[in-house]
Amino acid sequence: MYGGVLGVCGGARRRPRAASRAFSRTDNVAAMATNASELSGIPSAEIGVIGGSGFYSFLEDVTEVQVDTPYGSPSDSLFFGEIAGLKVVFLPRHGRGHHLPPNRINYRANLWALRSVGVRQVLGPCAVGGLRPEYGPGTLLVPDQFVDRTQARVQTFYDGYPLPDGSVPNVVHVSTADPYCPEGRKAALAAARGQDWEPVDGGALVVVEGPRFSTRAESVWYRSMGWSVVGMTGHPEAVLARELALCYTSITLVTDLDAGAESGEGVTHGDVLKVFAANVERLRAVLFDAVAGLPVDGERNCPCMRALDGLDPGIQLP
């Protein structure tokens, strides 16, 4: 159930924006998606936050909107609001009440829904277990790599199966050599340091199928490979975001030492929630400041936004 946070809108300050800029093909796509959202009566936002375990609300004074996608319904409604003058949309990854285990989340619908309302930057906070003794409860780690140990998750939009409108996606191979947005990682790290929370810069997040926690043998193996933390929801979110040319940043909060890094009885669901409750306010502040530090309004200039350059998806992206 590794996965999340709890939050309410707060007082991060918006950075000054450039007065003029070049307008690229990618900017045009973003603008069209946003305009389409507004014309349909659905609010728009350029920044999305996907919350996990214990993270079922994030914004105050929200507009709640139910959306559907060619891949089915997302985990819950979309909740629109503002942080520091920026339009933000929140989606509870497990649904309100945590009714979706990590292996049953409709990750494709979640990412498609966010892009359809104009989102181009995604923050994905999640709870994880530490694989090293120095990564104890309360550690904030911003990974730069992940390792996929899931077993049965759909992890691409480009599988050749027809969509409801009759269009057929082409087979597309995107690079995930560096799966997280470099600009988003910078914003997250700076936000954490600004809150006097020295984060771990980089490391590999091992994503397991869940919903069970690791055995000691599995955990010892992950640690022996040099990996840093283990969770259940970081994949396929990052890959699907890259396939839609979205920027995706994972922000992990260690809630426990994993089975191979401790000698007790192992982690429990209650342990995870208890540590989250103790760190909610700090993590909330980090997320607010990270949102304010993200490049938006055409300021993006990272590999994520160019992930589909020269490729033909074969389908109309939202």
Q: Has residue 29 got a pLDDT over 70?
A: no
SS3 289: helix
Tens-place pLDDT, residues 154-190: 999 999 999 999 999 999 999 999 999 999 999 999 9
N-term to C-term CA, the chain: 30
Q: Provide the β-strand partners of residue 72.
A: 69
Name the residue among 315, 298, 241 with its Cα closest to residue 22: 298
Annotated active-site residue in 76, 148, 256, 271:
256
Q: Has residue 130 got a pLDDT over 80?
A: yes
Q: Respond yes or no: is residue 271 known to be catalytic.
A: no
Tens-place pLDDT, residues 72-106: 999 999 999 999 999 999 999 999 888 999 999 99
Q: Respond yes or no: is residue 27 known to be catalytic.
A: no
Domains of the chain: 25-306 (3.40.50.1580)
Annotated active-site residue in 148, 258, 271, 289:
258
